[in-house]
Structure 1
């Protein structure tokens, strides 16, 4: 009995340890998917990994303009919310050059400007190192933040310190990209839910209010000899009219969606409708944030996905479909890939049929392209690309 209790106790300890590990991994993942948590953690990590007195991070709030918001090891708030334009100070020089900058003593360094000497002096900093944090934005690699490491005494930051800070910056850039994708996914889900709520309200409450209004107007004709009831009906008609106006305003509010949200929401809805219609799983994946497109380009990409899903439904005998959206070559690309075994539709080769041929011509007018290929191991891939607004291929 004692041996069994000992074994059970050891197993319980092992399970508790495993659970603690899973919880730590969960917290780390949640921190990665939260932009603010990722940047705040970066400031703390700089102190620990580089071995400096202070670490802080400035995030770009517009091109060529960063703001210091996350600090670790600071003694004052002199640097908090400090605006850093490109070219000014050590951070501004990093923005201008796109590479690391280091100074042995900030206040006397001849390689930087000195607009921020008062703030640096107030925090008691001397040696400083700053590197850019890169992330992929709309298909391009851009500087999105600046990582700083600082000492309260003059010192030389060697190549090893630069390397450690660059590794931190690289990991932070990845975390920011993942956080952006997570935020985009959440926002797209909210937009899709708003769209479904709008449709449900329009079809149920809107139809009910219309029916009540019709019945009230019909009653007016039947009780023309009863002034009292006629007055009550007019008040009821006014209430129905007010409720209809309030419903219209609510539907308009639910329908509001920014251009960059409209495309992924529409594509996700087409996948959902396809799945509901024919029972074949269709998954929508947004690989990275995309820049907003104008109405014509957005409509073309939606039409390509709709056509691709219809062809899969009619011809492919597929078990699954994946629709992806991503930035590509200064533009936006959608791909409809299935694992079907059926023959491609007769218009699958661009230029031979009416469906895809029309899409090919529309894409060409915009400087884009549409193609479809049979995969080597079964399945077809339909791909469409359009250049970004203001750019022609």
Structure 2
């Protein structure tokens, strides 16, 4: 029993490490942890599109897709009330509560939810605090969430805020801020995560020697050994990426992160392929290509019944070409605002840089969003 408990502890440490190192895993883990921590039937997390609007993206324990990508404006429902007040809100029965608006009753009924608790995920700095996401817990019956449950979810929200802060810093367009933060994160990862992985590895080897007579624990231990090895490899790659902060290195890393986030959010298989190294680009070109990927993936998410998506980056005709291709079966989205920057706007920005952006329907019914930018700005 003692050896089994030790192994369970190592597994928990492994999960915590992976959550810290990956934004999507962290937020998925937040939704799951909410359920486990207070015994809720479901947990979910909403990101903020703007200070006045949240979108529910990460869910655990739900039975339908009623809440997936649900837009929650400030003041509406329990999440919108959290945005307005900046503090936890709880109801014992959502659809009959007199303290909230009821724009989302149909979705809540469709999911079969009763009691609900929502807590702000707050980013804190020396001189300000702001809500950056909302964490929810829900039951499938009328019930009361007590003060202990509120405090537990607030603690989970604090950890989620840390993960979101790291992601926000990584996505910053300011090269100096990225370089400084990467150096700090590289040092922190090396000193804390690296040391902890080493410690886990040592404990794994010690446990391995003492449980050879227990096949069940031996199997779990071998899986843990494999996970620790994979985490060590991921850490080495992260340290390399953080130490090489040139634009041509940073662009593929960020594009791959957007693809991973899309796949985790939608369940649609997606992959990023770098066909060959690309020439260095300035901040404006880098930001444009990132915007193209975000626009392309959002169009697929909102309009295409896609089975897979491929994002590719590589040199082409004296410049850099970026392609977002899907095998969806619906009509392509018309150019216009979606992420705040539609295809037409992206094309205009690319034209000013001597490049081009186009969205075309493929012969096999999929859609391809293609962007090309020259290596050197025209004189």
TM value normalised by structure 1: 0.44
- Larger Rg: 1 or 2? 1
